[in-house]
Structure formats: C-alpha cells, structure tokens
Amino acid sequence: MGEKFQKDEAFFSGRLKSLKFAVLGAYKLATTEHSIMSQLSIAAVVTALGFYFSITKTEWLIQILVIGLVLSIEGLNTAVEKIADFIHPEFHERIGFIKDIAAGAVFFAAMTAIAVFFIIYIPYFIS
C-alpha cells in the first residue's frame, strides 16, 4: 500500500509543499478538464483584447478578478463533481441536486464575467 501521509509541521517547508500541491492541482485542472480548458481559452482571448485596446489599470484589475473568479469556481465545481461521483457512482437524485447547485455557482460567476466583459469592452468596440 502507499506511504502514509505526514503533515509537514515546519512553516516554510509546509507552505512550499502546499504550493507544490496547488500548482499540481491547477495543472491537472488545465490539462484534464474541458470546462477549464474552455475558460482558459476565453481568458486568453480577453487578455489579448485587453492589450489590443490598452484597457485601463482598473479595467485590468477587474478583468483579472473575474477570470480568477470563474476559474476558481469552475475548479471547485469540478472537485464537487469528482467527490460526488466517487461517493455515489450511479445516478442519485440528491447527488444530482448537489452537482446542479455547484454548476449554478459556475453559472453565476460566468454571468458576472460576461457582464464585466460588456461593461469594459462595449465602449472600445463602439469608438
């Protein structure tokens, strides 16, 4: 069987290990989950638009925040789905309800991002 997990109690080395796991998790999300791949592609396009239109520092800050919001919520949604599928692989009404709620959180984040996109970019497209 695998080796037993031991928590690193040392502050610095413990944080480094946590960072390593976080980067590995982000890599797994970006390379295995189609929803994250789509969101990253959209983020790249919007970032390119930001450079093209020379958006303001404030617009950059807001844009970066909503990109991070969508990617974070999408990652949490993926985690909820994976846990739910692990716990109950067959369809179950209550598991479906939980997964729908997690997907609803992604929907709210995505609608926020779309609203921010229009608020930032419509003036640039019009002028």
Mean pLDDT in consecutive groups of 10 residues from the start of the chain, 127 residues:
63 86 96 96 98 98 98 97 94 95 98 98 96
Q: What is the pLDDT of residue 2?
A: 56
Q: What is the pLDDT of residue 4?
A: 64
Q: What is the pLDDT of residue 13?
A: 81
Q: How far is CA 109 from CA 22, 28, 40, 99, 114, in A?
A: 21, 21, 14, 16, 9
Q: What is the pLDDT of residue 3?
A: 59
> What does the DSSP assignment read for 29-74?
HHHH-HHHHHHHHHHHHHHHHHHHHT--HHHHHHHHHHHHHHHHHH
Residue ranges per structural domain of the chain: 34-126
**Could you tell me the maximum CA-CA distance found in the chain, to the nearest angstrom?**
64
How far apart CA 58 and CA 22 sit, in angstroms, is: 28
Q: Which CATH architecture is the domain 34-126 placed in?
A: Orthogonal Bundle (1.10)
